[in-house]
Chain A
Amino acid sequence: MRILAMDTSNQSMSVAIIENNQILVEKTTNVKRNHSIQLMPTIEHVIEDANLSIDSLDRIVVAKGPGSYTGVRIAVTVAKTLAWTKEIELVGISSLKVIAGNAQQIEGSLIVPVMDARRGNIYTGLYTYKNQELIELERDRHVSAKEWAQELASKHEIVQMIGTDLEKHLPIFKPYLKENLLLLPSYQQLPRASVLAMLGAQEEPTDIHTFVPEYAKLTEAEENWKEANPNDLGGRLIEKY
């Protein structure tokens, strides 16, 4: 199976093509650039470098968030549109799981990917390896770093923490996790589309039209609305004509 995978959830961008679980091409950047400008040209180059065409792909895998709202939407929009217009399978994988996929395969150790979500908050999740498969133990979430540090400490397990934003929040986690905290070298912190592709190879394809990013958080306007209107059931918000 030939897979094109892409991740623009945060500052870094990664695009890869794998074939039968072998990497053919991978490009990862970690400089402040504009994903909207860079993503499509990068996809074009990666497909060219693999000596392939868009028509020869079997599946597209995209990091579906959480992360930068705009960043996540760029890869999701491109992946969704390519999959729809070319009738290719589509799989979405948690952007946190992609980072967790960089962890060492230590059976039983907890894996905690971290992204900064501003104001002392993070996007994070809880993963582990079971029978050599990366599985989600608890749902991805938006939480204060301190609250999460306390929760992790109460588990009394080895915790591998990963992510380029981790450094910013380490002073909060260190005192709670102490010697149970396991850190990885910097080259293992960046999300890699090859890892994303391999994770996506194992999943069932999703419905393309209804596929949306996983923001892990409502917008502020929606939160306020929900609070003020607890009985609102939503209903039709979009009218087509």
Chain B
Amino acid sequence: MKLKRILAIETSCDETSAAVIDNGTELLSNVVASQIKSHQRFGGVVPEVASRHHVEQMTLIMEAALEEAGTSYEELDAIAVTEGPGLVGALLIGVNAAKAVAYAHKLPLIPVNHIIGHIYANQLVQPLCFPLLSLVVSGGHTELVYMKQAGQYEVIGETRDDAAGEAYDKVGRVLGVPYPGGKHIDEMAHQGKDTFHFPRAMMQDDTNDFSFSGLKSSFINTVHNAQQKGEVLDKNDLAASFQAAVVEVLVKKTIRCAKERKVKQIVLAGGVAANKGLRQALKEAVSEELAETELIIPPLSLCGDNAAMIGAAAFTESIDSDQLDLTLNAKPGLAL
């Protein structure tokens, strides 16, 4: 069946979001209720608190998305929802709300992988061309995903320990900046210099995998040793040095893979795609080393979790008009 208008829902972590999107590219609304302020109290996302907030917000956010889009249920062709990966209790709210709306209005229901959603956020910027390479970086993921064609996902590199965003959060705690640390470290990094030369893990090895736990430990040791000696380290330099190490590995491996696979496009995806240092470094590296390759970087509003990207990804699915699996469940560990 030919799809036009989709109502999409995303609740995989600490953002309740609903969006209405036409033809997979035209955004009519994209409403996000962020719980960051709540979880800042605890220094990180508390899953049970996140689930409770989703129940408070879900119908309000769906209503806001429909109203902003000025659409009626009769004009909708399908409901899309993130089924995973993510926090199970959080996913369950979106999945059950989506099933209820789909059932109530006899609409097809399209389950969407959250990671694919992040990649397809770029489709809202310009059409994806294949083969492409996506660098997916967020609080839960650090992956290089090769797409030979639409619908084919091959993870050719991934983190062996912490996700990049997770390392940012942990380092942020040591630096005493509020959760989530990424944004603050990014700002501090622009005021400092890379003076500590932290290790670039797995930079020289043959795999496309990443590792950030060694970097994190090295950072923490540096700070603790200085504290014991009574030395005061420049926090901006610490931030700049940490960020330089993360960004250099991410960019180098992305460029190397893109060359090997001769891709037409490189697309950046995930919450850490909002990092200015990463955006800048990737732009420079692509223009210097891969002039023929197109780089797509989503606008900041589409980097964090949002339902628009879920709608964009859902649009690529071929579905039947009566596709409505009411047994759909949350899949917290869903792979690509």
B58 and A77 form a contact (CB under 8 A): yes
Which positions 70-111 of chain B face chain A at CB distance < 8 Å? 73, 88-89, 92-93, 95-97, 99-101, 103-105
Least CB distance, B25 to chain A, in whole angstroms? 21
Q: Give the contacting residue for B104; candidates A38, A82, A229, A232; CB below 8 A.
A: A82
**At the interface, yes or no: B205 with Cβ under 8 Å from chain A?**
no
**At the interface, yes or no: A221 with Cβ under 8 Å from chain B?**
yes
Least CB distance, A53 to chain B, in whole angstroms? 10
Tell me whether A215 and B52 are in contact in the complex, defined as CB-CB below 8 angstroms, given that A70-B89, A73-B89, A240-B64 are known contacts: yes
* Residue of A44, A221, A238 contacting most chain B CB atoms (<10 Å): A238
**At the interface, yes or no: A16 with Cβ under 8 Å from chain B?**
no
Which positions 41-68 of chain B face chain A at CB distance < 8 Å? 41-42, 46, 48-49, 51-53, 55-64
**At the interface, yes or no: B329 with Cβ under 8 Å from chain A?**
yes
Complex Cα gap A54–B100 (Å): 11
A221 and B48 form a contact (CB under 8 A): yes
A39 to chain B: which residues have CB within 8 Å?
Answer: 96
B101 and A85 form a contact (CB under 8 A): yes
Write the A60-77 contact mask toward B (1 if CB under 8 angstroms, else 0): 000000000110011011
Write the A193-233 contact mask toward B (1 if CB under 8 angstroms, else 0): 00000000000000011101101000101100100010010
**At the interface, yes or no: A40 with Cβ under 8 Å from chain B?**
yes
Q: Give the contacting residue for B37; candidates A84, A213, A225, A239; CB below 8 A.
A: A239
**At the interface, yes or no: B240 with Cβ under 8 Å from chain A?**
no
A81 and B329 form a contact (CB under 8 A): no
**At the interface, yes or no: A97 with Cβ under 8 Å from chain B?**
no
B59 and A81 form a contact (CB under 8 A): yes
Q: Give the contacting residue for B59; candidates A40, A44, A209, A225; CB below 8 A.
A: A209
Which positions 42-67 of chain A face chain B at CB distance < 8 Å? 43-44, 54
B244 to chain A: which residues have CB within 8 Å?
Answer: none
Complex Cα gap A132–B104 (Å): 36
Tell me whether A40 and B326 are in contact in the complex, defined as CB-CB below 8 angstroms, given that A70-B51, A73-B89 are known contacts: yes
Which positions 1-56 of chain A face chain B at CB distance < 8 Å? 34, 36-41, 43-44, 54
B96 to chain A: which residues have CB within 8 Å?
Answer: 36, 39-40, 74, 77-78, 81
A36 and B92 form a contact (CB under 8 A): yes
A36 and B329 form a contact (CB under 8 A): yes
A70 and B38 form a contact (CB under 8 A): no
Least CB distance, B104 to chain A, in whole angstroms? 5
Closest to A236 in B: B37
Tell which of B28-36, B217-225, B247-255 binds the partner: B28-36
B89 to chain A: which residues have CB within 8 Å?
Answer: 69-70, 73
B49 to chain A: which residues have CB within 8 Å?
Answer: 219, 221-222
* Residue of B56, B59, B96 contacting most chain A CB atoms (<10 Å): B96
A34 to chain B: which residues have CB within 8 Å?
Answer: 329
Complex Cα gap A226–B64 (Å): 32
A40 to chain B: which residues have CB within 8 Å?
Answer: 96, 99-100, 103, 326-327
Complex Cα gap A80–B99 (Å): 12
Q: Give the contacting residue for B35; candidates A41, A232, A237; CB below 8 A.
A: A237
Residues of B within 8 A of A (CB): 31-38, 41-42, 46, 48-49, 51-53, 55-64, 73, 88-89, 92-93, 95-97, 99-101, 103-105, 326-327, 329-330
Identify the 10 closest CB pairs spanning chains A and B, nearest first. A237-B38, A81-B100, A40-B326, A221-B46, A84-B59, A81-B97, A77-B96, A219-B48, A41-B326, A40-B99
Residues of A within 8 A of B (CB): 34, 36-41, 43-44, 54, 69-70, 73-74, 76-78, 80-82, 84-86, 208-210, 212-213, 215, 219, 221-222, 225, 229, 232, 235-241
- 9 more contacts with CB within 8 A, not counting A219-B49, A238-B38, are A39-B96, A70-B88, A74-B92, A77-B93, A77-B100, A78-B96, A81-B101, A239-B33, A240-B31
Q: List 29 A-B contacts (CB under 8 A).
A: A36-B95, A37-B329, A40-B327, A41-B327, A69-B89, A70-B88, A73-B52, A77-B55, A77-B96, A77-B97, A81-B59, A81-B62, A81-B97, A82-B100, A82-B104, A84-B63, A208-B59, A219-B49, A221-B41, A221-B49, A225-B41, A229-B41, A237-B38, A237-B53, A238-B35, A238-B37, A239-B36, A240-B31, A241-B32
